[in-house]
Amino acid sequence: MSAAPHLCYFEPRIPENTGAAIRLSAVTGAHLHLVEPLGFDLSEPKLKRAGLDYHDLASVTVHSDFEAFLASMPDSRVFAYTAHADKIYSDVQYRPSDVLLFGSEPTGLPEEIMAHPRVTDRVRIPMIPGRRSLNLTNAASLVVYDAWRQADFA
């Protein structure tokens, strides 16, 4: 079992980003969770191309909705990543059972998801003021690797 945390994309829209997340899962051992509805079909060529030949090496689960996802992770802490938070990703002491929750590319996480009682905390990645966001999987990669680093890349 990897010491990398779980990664969850809430209603992702861009297949290339999810393909890159599949590669991230394969190379770090982070289990990738996708919460429906997805903005693409999992068999889309763009998704397969972005994931290259890593699909069989990644651990990916698709959940019908957010509650189904949470039910599958009853004992996990859930960190919601948003540009609107005080806590910085590098200040969190991660555990392998943690969930790193990211929203869809155009809108991020909806307030009702971030306010869910199961969400442990809201967390941000620092950026230069006036910048909107990083690419979804670039942001997820920063956090997955920091969490894995804290576990000495076990």
At residue 55, the pLDDT reads 72
Domain residue ranges in the chain: 6-150
At residue 22, the pLDDT reads 92
Alpha carbon distance 2, 126 (integer Å):
27
At residue 1, the pLDDT reads 58
At residue 137, the pLDDT reads 95
Are 154 and 6 within 8 A, CB to CB? no
My answer on whether omega of the bond before 74 falls inside 30° of 0, hence cis, is: no
At residue 48, the pLDDT reads 61
At residue 131, the pLDDT reads 84
At residue 52, the pLDDT reads 55
- Mark the ranges of the chain whose per-residue pLDDT is less than 70: 1, 44, 46-53
At residue 16, the pLDDT reads 87
At residue 132, the pLDDT reads 80
- Selecting from 3.40.50.300, 3.40.1280.10, 3.40.50.1240, 2.40.50.140, what CATH number does the domain 6-150 have? 3.40.1280.10
At residue 80, the pLDDT reads 98
Question: What sign does the dihedral 70-100-22-30 (CA atoms) show?
Answer: negative
At residue 92, the pLDDT reads 98
